[in-house]
Every structure is written in structure tokens, then in C-alpha cells.
Amino acid sequence: MREKDATREVKRLTENTFILTDKFQVGGETIVKQKLVCLYPNRLMWTSTHFAGSAKHSQFIYEIKSTTKTTSRLKFTALHLARDLKEGVSKADIEELAEELRKEDSGVWKNLAREMERETHLS
């Protein structure tokens, strides 16, 4: 999350399943987004399914794929349902939104990876 006053609550449901609740302000309005995140460590894969917020019912799938013995890439598949878009949105606007979402999601997962690494070193 890029918002300065944003908060995130993480609720663990099972060993590999979490609910993330993000709250932040936009134009004086409190926005709440909730997503169910399921981790599949054996496949180096996770899913993120939104169940509250403007992207409700959107789902994102992330999978780390090996490309060589020392490199990998992140495969990203998304079904983003944007309820706040107006009719007649241009292809350029949609592409801009897709790029913005990609950057936002990448940042979120980088933060999660750092936190998971930190917790691993504390154990």
C-alpha cells in the first residue's frame, strides 16, 4: 500500500490461508479492501481473491517459475473486476490501470516477502 496512513490487518485462518484487511483514506473517505490469500508453498504459488472493496470478486494468481538454475520469473494471471470504472473507458485507460495494478501488487508482495523473511530469522 502506498497510502501514508494505510493499515493492514492479517488474520491467519490456516497455516497457508490468510485474510488481509487494508484500510486507507482517499479524499477523506475510508476505503476498506479485504482479500483471501492462499499460499501453495510446494508449487511456489499463491492466490489473492478480493471479497470486499471496489475489486470485489477479482482474483489474482501468482506463480514463481524457474527459468534457469539460478533465475526465476513471476507468472501473474489476473481477473480484475473494476466496479468503479465508467462505461466507454478507452483501451489506453485500461492499459494504464493494468500497469498501475501490477506495480501496486508487486510492491505488496515484496513487502510480504520481506516480512516473511524477517519472521523466519526470528524463529
Contact call for residues 104 and 2 (beta carbons, < 8 A): yes
Q: What would the mean pLDDT of 56-67 be, rounded to a whole number?
A: 90
Q: Which of 62, 72, 5 is nearest to 35 (CA)?
A: 62
Q: What would the mean pLDDT of 25-48 be, rounded to a whole number?
A: 92
Q: What would the mean pLDDT of 8-30 be, rounded to a whole number?
A: 93
Split at pLDDT 50, 70, 90, the class of 111 is confident
Q: In the numeric block, which cell numbers belong to residue 41?
A: 508453498
User: Domains of the chain: which residue ranges?
Assistant: 7-88
**Residue pointed to by grid coordinates 476505503:** 31
The model's pTM is: 0.67
Q: What would the mean pLDDT of 7-18 be, rounded to a whole number?
A: 96
Q: What would the mean pLDDT of 20-45 be, rounded to a whole number?
A: 92
Percent of the residues in the chain that have a pLDDT greater than 70, as a whole number: 93
Query: What pLDDT is attached to residue 87?
Result: 77
